[in-house]
Amino acid sequence: MQRSPEHAERPSSPLSGWPMVALYLMLIALVAALIWIGARERSAAILVPTLILGIPTLLAFPCGFFIVNPNQSRVLVLFGRYRGTLRSAGFWWTNPFTVKRKVSLRAHNFNTEKLKVNDLLGNPIEIAAVVVWQVYDTARAVFDVEDFQDFVSVQSEAAVRVLASRHPYDEGHTEVVRTTLRGSADEVSLELQEALQQRLDQAGIQVIETRLSHLAYAPEIASAMLQRQQATAVIAARAMIVEGAVGMVQMALAQLAHSKVVELDDERRAQLVGNLLVVLCAHENPTPVLNTGSLYT
């Protein structure tokens, strides 16, 4: 299948509108004068050419005037041929038969709908993104795609779906991909921007910035994943507590040995370690039990 050639923007140089306003007023005066002279002298040689040529010219001439606002452009097409793009703000005049299509050069925000997709592990998630974009090549935007705004919308949603399928939702779920949708926001945004830029180059669109605006598990697994996250947090907290408790026990034994407050054999040392770990790792305050006898009886 042969692909149609891509267009490239080129500048256009229409005439300034103000001198053409003066010329138009002069044409009005000239046609009016010819009609008055022809009617006074009842001369068909003057009236007929004036009516045939002068009146249509006066009617068509104003169609050539147009205004370009700041950060706007006009794509000029004459009889099906691209005549260039005007980016300079001002009041202009060109051939009245020229089609003058407005194309905004301002930055646009596009917020995708909440999409329900599967992440790398197959978990259903909801995801949405904000895309900031602007037109950098008006010829491509007008001629190479049917509707460049709709093109941005469709390609943005497609890029978000592909991005979600390449990453897990959260950390620790896989060793294959280190970047996650929730924990690697900058890396994921940059990847989305690069992928979307490749898709939108055909339409002459520049992607300025992309960000995930919504990210959550799908409702059907949200409660289960919340319990999983809570369990992971509890395990991590308990591991930190045990690590700290072991360090404190080691420090206590080292200080007792250094100060020679009491001599501990292996059995007494084991009991002291056990008691300290129970005190340091327990959820609730321990209840002490006083031993009035000997450890060995």
Residue with tokens 């093109």: 151
Q: Categorize the per-residue pLDDT at 1 as very low, low, confident or very high, splitting at 50, 70 and 90.
A: very low
Angle between helices 148-165 and 185-200 (to 10 degrees): 140
Q: What is the separation, in whole angstroms, between the first and last Cα of the chain? A: 95
Q: Are 103 and 135 in contact (CB under 8 A)?
A: yes
Distance between CA atoms of 184 and 203, rounded to whole angstroms? 29
Q: At a CB cut-off of 8 Å and minimum separation 6, what does 118 contact?
A: 124, 125, 164, 165
Q: Are 148 and 205 in contact (CB under 8 A)?
A: yes
Its pTM stands at 0.72
Of residues 224 and 22, which shows the higher confidence score? 22
CA 120 from chain centre, in angstroms, equals 21
pLDDT digits (tens, 9 = 90+) for 134-155: 999 999 999 999 999 999 999 9
Q: Give the pLDDT of residue 84.
A: 96
- Residue 133: phi and psi, rounded to 5, are -145, 165
pLDDT digits (tens, 9 = 90+) for 38-63: 888 888 888 888 889 989 999 999 99
Q: Are 73 and 86 in contact (CB under 8 A)?
A: yes
pLDDT digits (tens, 9 = 90+) for 172-183: 555 667 788 988
Q: Categorize the per-residue pLDDT at 297 as very low, low, confident or very high, splitting at 50, 70 and 90.
A: low
